Amino acid sequence: MMVLKIVLGLIGLSLVVVIHEAGHFIAAKLCGIHVEAFSIGWGKIIYARKWKETEFRVSLFPLGGYCKMQGEQALIQAWENHSREVECEEGDMYAASFWKRIIVSLSGPLVNLIFASLIFFVIGMFGYNISYYPSRIVLASDYTDRTDYPANFSGLQTGDSITAVNGRDIERFDQLQQEIALHPEEVLKLRVQRDGKSISLNLTPELNLQSGSGYVGIYPWIEPIVRDFTESSFFNDKEIEKGDRISKINGIPIDHAVQLSSLLEKVVLQSLSVVRNGSSHEISFKEEQIVSDPGIQYDFLQTRTPQWDILYAIKEGYRESSRILLSSLKGLSLLFKGIDLQSAVSGPLRISYITGDLAFSGFSNGIAEGLVTFFRFIALINIALFVMNLLPIPVLDGGQILLFLVEGILRRKPNPQIIYKYQLLGTIIVFGLIIFATMNDILFFSRN
Domain spans of the chain, in order of start = 2-127+379-447, 131-221, 226-298
Q: Looking at domain 131-221, does it have CATH number 1.20.58.340?
A: no
Q: What is the pLDDT of residues 27-69, one digit of tens each?
A: 999 999 999 999 988 888 898 898 888 999 988 877 778 898 8
Q: Would you list the DSSP string of 323-383?
A: HHHHHHHHHHHGGGGT--HHHH---HHHHHHHHHHHHHHHHTT-HHHHHHHHHHHHHHHHH
pLDDT computed for residue 252 by the predictor: 93
| Helix, strand, coil percentages for the chain (3-state, nearest 5) | 50, 25, 30
Non-local (6+) Cβ contacts of 390 within 8 A are 106, 109, 396, 397, 398, 401
Report the distance separating Cα 410 and Cα 27, nearest Å.
24
CATH architecture of the domain 226-298 equals Roll (2.30)
- The pLDDT-based confidence of 286 (bands split at 50, 70, 90) is confident
Report the pLDDT averaged over residues 122-144: 89
Secondary structure tally for the chain: helices H, strands E? 12, 18
Question: CATH topology of 131-221 equal to that of 226-298?
Answer: yes
Global pTM value: 0.76
- The pLDDT-based confidence of 156 (bands split at 50, 70, 90) is very high
**CB 353, CB 5: distance < 8 Å:** yes
Q: Would you give the distance in Å from CA 90 to the centre of its chain?
A: 42
- The pLDDT-based confidence of 378 (bands split at 50, 70, 90) is confident
Quick one: CA torsion of 66, 72, 75, 81, rounded to 10 degrees?
110
Q: What is the pLDDT of residues 64-105, one digit of tens each?
A: 788 988 877 777 777 667 777 777 778 888 888 889 999 999
Answer with the residue of higher pLDDT: 408 or 128.
408
Q: What is the pLDDT of residues 195-250, one digit of tens each?
A: 999 999 999 999 887 767 788 999 999 999 999 888 888 888 788 889 999 999 99
Taking CA atoms, 141 is separated from 51, 256, 364, 389, 414, in Å, by 65, 15, 34, 41, 60
